[in-house]
Amino acid sequence: MLHRFANPTRFLRLADIIQPWMAWATVLLMGAGLYMGLVVAPADYQQGESVRIMYVHVPSSWMALFCYTGMAISAAVGLIWKHPLADLIAKSTAPIGASFAFLSLLTGSLWGKPMWGTYWVWDARLTSMLVLLFLYLGYMALIEAFDDPTRGTRASSILVLVGVVNVPIIKFSVDWWNTLHQPSSVLKMSGPSIDASMLWPLLLMALAFTTYYLWVMLIRVRAEVAANRIRNLRFRQARGQGED
């Protein structure tokens, strides 16, 4: 099954079908989610209107973790089974995941000032999330740092796999240590401690962020495949000229 779609041509054919659906789903879900979150959903009993930052902050944080986990799995598949498509998916996911991590830190900071009284503290949750952003940026820098793309891919895949220990640390930081950041409201054993009128817009936004990721990732993978083909053509052309 996996091997079937590891073929770039077959993957691109599938991507052609999925991509417009993801684009439309993103537009509709994001529109509905923003309307529900910014207009329909009530203000919070303590945070007031500032609670609306959550509808962007929480989905970005989830997606930053989701993208990193996806990257780590793709990198592992690329390292172990040598599927070039897996490497391309990892490479294409990195800038999207980095943007989510940045958005999460930015919106969290803007929420922190009125709520906590500070833009930033070095508690376990905030610090580990910043480390995640640096892992993304480090991966993006490392993969481009070699003349030979296969070496860059290898080195950066190892970096992603080493950094994957940070994912559970981010998720459980609020349970393992005293932090200023509040614990999880949705994904916890005792069920969500968030009112249904706020949970639904949040889930819509999370779904919209997911389809957005799939949409942009497919565009990027397509561009990477095209770039690889151009590189191979040029290489062959240069070799052909050398033989003359």
Partner 1 sequence: MKRKHKRLSFVGLALLLIAAAAALVLNAYEESIVFFHSPTDIIEKKVSSDRRLRLGGLVEEDSVQKKADAVVVFNVTDLSNSVSVRYRGILPDLFREGQGVVAEGIFKDGVFQADEVLAKHDETYMPPEVADALKKSGKWDAMGEEMKRQGHTPKDSK
* 118 or 232: CB nearest partner 1: 118
> Does 184 interact with partner 1 (rule: CB under 8 A)?
yes
* 45 or 243: CB nearest partner 1: 45
> Does 82 interact with partner 1 (rule: CB under 8 A)?
yes
* 12 or 130: CB nearest partner 1: 130
For helices 124-143 and 54-81, give the axis angle rounded to 10 degrees: 50
- Asked whether 166 and 69 are in contact (CB, 8 A), the reply is no
> Does 117 interact with partner 1 (rule: CB under 8 A)?
yes
Find where tokens 């640390």 sit: 169
> Does 169 interact with partner 1 (rule: CB under 8 A)?
yes
For helices 8-35 and 196-243, give the axis angle rounded to 10 degrees: 150
- Dihedral (Cα; 200, 205, 211, 213), 10-degree rounding: -150
Q: Give the range of 7-15, 24-32, 100-108, 160-168 binding partner 1 by CB under 8 A.
A: 160-168
> Does 198 interact with partner 1 (rule: CB under 8 A)?
yes
Which DSSP string corresponds to 34-45? HHIIIIISPPBT
Query: Nearest 5°: CA angle at 111, between 209 and 118?
Result: 140
> Does 144 interact with partner 1 (rule: CB under 8 A)?
no
* 20 or 114: CB nearest partner 1: 114
How many residues in the shown chain lie near partner 1 by CB under 8 A? 42
> Does 9 interact with partner 1 (rule: CB under 8 A)?
no
> Does 161 interact with partner 1 (rule: CB under 8 A)?
yes
Three-state SS at 96: helix
Q: Give the range of 29-37, 98-106, 121-129, 228-236 binding partner 1 by CB under 8 A.
A: 121-129
**Measured between alpha carbons, how far is 159 from 79 in angstroms, rounded to an integer?**
12
Residues paired with residue 44 on neighbouring β-strands, in sequence order: 48
**Measured between alpha carbons, how far is 197 from 200 in angstroms, rounded to an integer?**
6
Shortest distance (Å) from residue 138 CB to partner 1:
16
Among residues 12, 73, 121, 140, which is the contact residue for partner 1, using CB under 8 A? 121
**Measured between alpha carbons, how far is 48 from 240 in angstroms, rounded to an integer?**
68
Binding footprint of partner 1 on the chain (CB under 8 A): 42-47, 51, 54, 76, 79-82, 114-118, 121-124, 161-162, 164-165, 169, 176-180, 182-185, 188, 193-195, 197-198
